[in-house]
Amino acid sequence: MSDKLWGGRFSEDTDTLVEKFNASIDVDKRLYASDIEGSMAHLKMMARQQIIAKDEADTLLAGLERVRIRIENNEVSFSDSLEDIHMHVEDALGQECGDLAKKLHTGRSRNDQVALDIRIFLKNETRQIMDRITGFQNALVNLAKAHPDVIMPGYTHMQRAQPVLFAHHLMAYYEMLKRDKERFADAYKRMDAMPLGTAALAGTTYPVDREFTRQILGFARLCENSMDAVSDRDFIMEFISHAGICMIHLSRLSEELILWSSSEFGYITISDAFTTGSSIMPQKKNPDVAELVRGKTGRVVGNLMAIFTTMKSLPMAYNKDMQEDKEPLFDTVDTLSICLEVYTRMFPHITVHADRMKTACARGFLNATDFADYLVNKGMPFRQAHAVAGKAVALAISEKKELDDLSLAQFKDLSDRVTEDVYDFIRLDQVVARRISAGGTGVDNVRAAVEKAQKELNS
């Protein structure tokens, strides 16, 4: 007989390469605390239901506590022959409690066990990620608040479009992250269902009280269908999807930070502590942190494809393919966490060059829309005003000027509605100040948005 925990029906030992291939301990050892927490709840429930004796459960509970401490002190050696964290914990419990440990797995399968462990782990991580998002939102809002009236070019198609407040631009990312947090909160609701007690796939013959186990473990409800309970990995796919969207937001921001810190833009400087140099070019100061956040987005999107592809076509119920769920999940948790943390630390070390942003606003006809609006105010229909303003731009380009540099006579040639007040109307600060529509870049709106955000973050 094979010496495996499951070895009863086997007459040959497992091939050594298969042992290595089959093992997941290198990855799933990270679930040890969740695994022990789940086993403890299972024991308490079994004692209450008289599936095992109370004193036996107490001995095993104390043993599991010692196993936890031994794992934390690196006193449990991990080996491929014991496959995964579940077998290692059970084996270590055997070293603590002898044959009594063999009662732990009554009425339970590794299938419901692993489903439980991941849910316990991910609930905890999801809460932490939501806190990290809040931390980074605070950093964004602080930077916005520190520069309430800095004006920069707003872009569409990466062409200068209309001036906006730098704070308004930053607050756009606040909104994205707010939605990210909402998505994680929503995903949390679905991962908050308890699978233990569904056993291998069909439920168990023992009189388990799943409701009692649920209460001990602090889950909101039970997984309702035993087959779904052991084979559902939606909550992982959902988590990685939301993480992917969040990373894409960080990646878009990264791209902007990289552009803004280039000599061509010169809008910001990222401090030395958050940049790196070149081994050959002495002058270089590279925005590696932003580039890495952008780059790591690819990993998370890749993780999403990995879990999707693993789950695609899997029949009911548990299949070993699912063991492949943990690497992409853990990598996603780690990647998103460190990206949020590193940006939270970096943002207070960004210097904003208001002068460069303002200079950039002076070129590229960012006030052309406002000249059209000026004509509308003077009674011209918008389409016609758009055409006249377009002609004004063409004239200015041909004379290598901006709109503000055209003479009143030139303006009047384009439309006799123009009078001296046009120059005030198309001035940069006026252009921004007039955008008072809800959600626009007007100074009052942006100040209110920052204040609202601060309230939301402190609530």
Interface characters, 198-237, with ligand ARG (x: CB under 6 A): ----------------------------------------
The answer to whether the beta carbons of residues 432 and 164 sit under 8 Å apart is yes
* Binding residue for ligand ARG, selected from 68, 103, 110, 294, defined by CB under 6 A: 110
- Dig out the tokens for 226 from the structure: 């035993």
* Binding residue for ligand ARG, selected from 126, 204, 275, 323, defined by CB under 6 A: 323
Q: Does residue 88 interact with ligand ARG by CB under 6 A?
A: no
In 128-243 the beta strands, taken as DSSP E runs, fall at 151-156, 159-165, 193-194, 221-222
Those residues with Cβ within 8 angstroms of residue 321's Cβ, 6 or more apart along the chain or in another chain = 310, 311, 314
* Binding residue for ligand ARG, selected from 35, 84, 90, 402, defined by CB under 6 A: 84
Nearer Cβ to ligand ARG (325/373): 325
Q: At what angle do helices 85-97 and 54-72 cross, to 10 degrees?
A: 120
In angstroms, what is the minimal distance from the CB of 250 to ligand ARG?
Answer: 29
Q: Which part of the chain contacts ligand ARG (CB under 6 A), choosing from 107-115, 291-299, 412-420, 450-458?
A: 107-115
* Binding residue for ligand ARG, selected from 14, 34, 59, 111, defined by CB under 6 A: 111
Distance separating alpha carbons of residues 173 and 330, to the nearest angstrom: 25
Q: Does residue 183 interact with ligand ARG by CB under 6 A?
A: no
Distance separating alpha carbons of residues 82 and 228, to the nearest angstrom: 27
Catalytic: which of 79, 262, 271, 278? Answer: 278
Q: Which part of the chain contacts ligand ARG (CB under 6 A), choosing from 108-116, 169-177, 291-299, 364-372?
A: 108-116
- Dig out the tokens for 150 from the structure: 């800095």
The answer to whether the beta carbons of residues 4 and 79 sit under 8 Å apart is no
Alpha helices in 347-442 (DSSP H): 354-361, 368-377, 382-398, 408-414, 422-425, 428-433
Catalytic: which of 77, 157, 398, 459? Answer: 157
In angstroms, what is the minimal distance from the CB of 23 to ligand ARG?
Answer: 9
Q: Is residue 169 among the annotated active site residues? A: no
Q: Does residue 196 interact with ligand ARG by CB under 6 A?
A: no
In angstroms, what is the minimal distance from the CB of 110 to ligand ARG?
Answer: 4
Distance separating alpha carbons of residues 177 and 449, to the nearest angstrom: 14
Q: Is residue 242 among the annotated active site residues? A: no
- Dig out the tokens for 208 from the structure: 């388990």
Site residues for ligand ARG per CB under 6 A: 24, 28, 84, 110-111, 114, 318, 320, 322-323
